A and B are shown apart, each in its own frame.
Chain A
Amino acid sequence: MSLLGIRDLHVSYGGIRALKGVSLDVEPGEIVTIIGANGAGKSTLLNTVSGFLKPTGGYVEFKGQRVGRSPAKIVKAGVCHVPEGRLVFANLSVQDNLSLGAYLRSDRRKMAVDLDRVYALFPRLKERMRQQAGTLSGGEQQMLAMGRALMTDGELVLMDEPSLGLAPLLVKTVFDIILEFRDLGKTILLVEQNAFKALAIADRAYVLEQGKVVKEGKASEVAQDPAVRAAYLGSKSSDGKSD
């Protein structure tokens, strides 16, 4: 049974049909990436999985059960979401941001272990634990957002454009960390404009165009596909462009 199952999902908002019958599966332990142009519906998909948008048709299953209706319930079930633009709490300290990641948890001992793990993974955050998150650089904020997701202790991590707006060296770091997440036992659904990098680390990939899945398969095979190469890998100018 797949960890996340999306079945014939239709989502509209603001009069636009953003998703037109998307189905996909994520198996435990996988890294699955969704690639596609701006406006293809990638972020809409993630926002529907975490409960911010209501489907007009179809549904989302997590561990074989329909997900709850509110974002808080979905987090509780074990889905955590690193949003586009990071959305760290700029008015709070790094440490407070990480504690808020563990807001729903009460297993204090394991929380302390996880906090140590986050600081081991991101030594920069440990140096700055008392600093306000708003004073961090973009790359550090991305690390904080990812660390916060680790603190949530969800099995499935949704990542929305984690490399957006970062310098090339940091982009590499971010992708290395995604691999570390998998080593920690997380399952990852990754949305990226940097299709080249995403396909390089993913197990499987889905190509989304205008709200529909137009191609799916092993990441290595999708990366070899001539149409995909032409559309998403031919030019690397898509790096770090924001929408």
Chain B
Amino acid sequence: MAQFLQQLVNGISIGSIYALMAVGYSLVYSIMNFSNFAHGSVIMLGAYFGYFCLTLLGLPFGLAFFLAACGTALVAVVIERLAYKPLRDRKAPFLYFIITAMGMSIFIDNGVIATIGPTPKIFPLARLPEFIRGGTIKLGVVEVGRVDVAMFVITVICLVALIFFIDYTRVGKAIQATAYNMKASALMGINTSFIIILVFAIGGALAGVAGVLYGIKYQVYPQMSGITMKSFIAAVFGGLGSLPGALLGSLLLALIETFVSGYLSTQLRDIFSFLILIAMLVIRPSGIMGKSMEDKA
């Protein structure tokens, strides 16, 4: 029983970080109908931004965290303006967007290797505030890492704020309208270019938060963007384009992964993740809560 609860807690903790990353994929997909594979690289950059703000600039943790999120928001918007907008203006097929996104990802990852180098960086524990430093907290029979608790709490705060923004504000409704139909939104006077920039900025900021948290829990290294493939699977699993779907998919995927590693074997974990992806694509391509393929071809 104790082991079960422990795995459950681990799963929720990893699920929360997947969710933070998956939301970025989903938001962009809901408006633009393509999977922004450059998102993983933006997450990686966020981890580096946080690391350098803390070490090189010697900024306090809160400020470093904030600047990392701003930095990735900016990077995401620059990617959209430089790489995707020219395609949109030419009404390019969606395949071009995906290929461009992959190209951006390769460019950024290798740019980091060439300039900063491939050696992993580790967040200096001494510079981190108490609540996110190593060590564990005992909750009854379960032991939880402080990082995991911090990750969970920060994720919940970010996602609640996001959902509130999307569901209850005027601009949030405009995002939903644009996701449903760009032409009709423009007919309401919604500036759809602004909405696209905004969505990239939000996804980018969340990527920065996720990158810093992930970097603290593990390490900061150029291939981090590969790890974020899991959050992409989570987004597809839950239903690309659906915010609740991204959350549910992330939680379920992380739970399945931790239980497989805990009860079967760690080596089988990733096989299971991708099996789930394949099974989902075969049985229900739109995911658990995704929009049906008819209205979003």
Contacts and interface: CB of A to CB of B under 8 A. Distances in A.
A106 B192 CA distance: 19
B184 A52 contact: no
B183 A52 contact: yes
Most chain-A CB neighbours within 10 Å: which of B180, B181, B187?
B187
B177 interface: yes
Contact of A101 (B179, B188, B291): B188
Interface string A64-98: 00000011100110001101000111111000100
Interface residues of A, number: 25
B186 interface: yes
A153 B185 CA distance: 16
Contact of A92 (B170, B173, B186): B173
Given A89-B181, A92-B176, A96-B173, A103 B188 contact: yes
Nearest to A82: B187
Contacts of A148: 188
Interface in B134-178: 170, 173-174, 176-177
A100 B174 contact: yes
Contact of B176 (A70, A72, A89, A103): A89
A75 B188 contact: yes
B191 interface: yes
A114 to B, nearest CB: 14
Contacts of A104: 188-189
A99 B188 CA distance: 10
A9 B181 CA distance: 27
B292 to A, nearest CB: 11
B180 A72 contact: no
B180 A80 contact: no
Interface in B170-228: 170, 173-174, 176-177, 179-181, 183-193
A104 B189 CA distance: 6
Given A83-B183, A83-B184, A87-B184, A100 B191 contact: no
Nearest to B30: A91
Contact of A72 (B170, B173, B177, B189): B189
A161 to B, nearest CB: 15
B183 A87 contact: yes
A152 B188 contact: yes
Contacts of A90: 180, 295
A103 B190 contact: yes
A193 interface: no
Contacts of B176: 89, 91-92
A99 B177 CA distance: 11
A50 interface: yes
Given A100-B173, A100-B174, A91 B188 contact: no
Given A70-B191, A80-B187, A83-B187, A100 B181 contact: no
Interface in A103-117: 103-104
B189 to A, nearest CB: 4
A72 B183 contact: no
Interface in A37-51: 50-51
A152 B189 CA distance: 8
Contact of B177 (A70, A76, A83, A92): A92
Contact of B189 (A76, A87, A89, A96): A76
A25 to B, nearest CB: 23
Contacts of B180: 89-92
B184 A72 contact: no
13 contacts: A50-B187, A52-B186, A71-B189, A72-B190, A72-B191, A90-B180, A91-B179, A91-B180, A96-B173, A99-B170, A100-B173, A104-B189, A152-B188
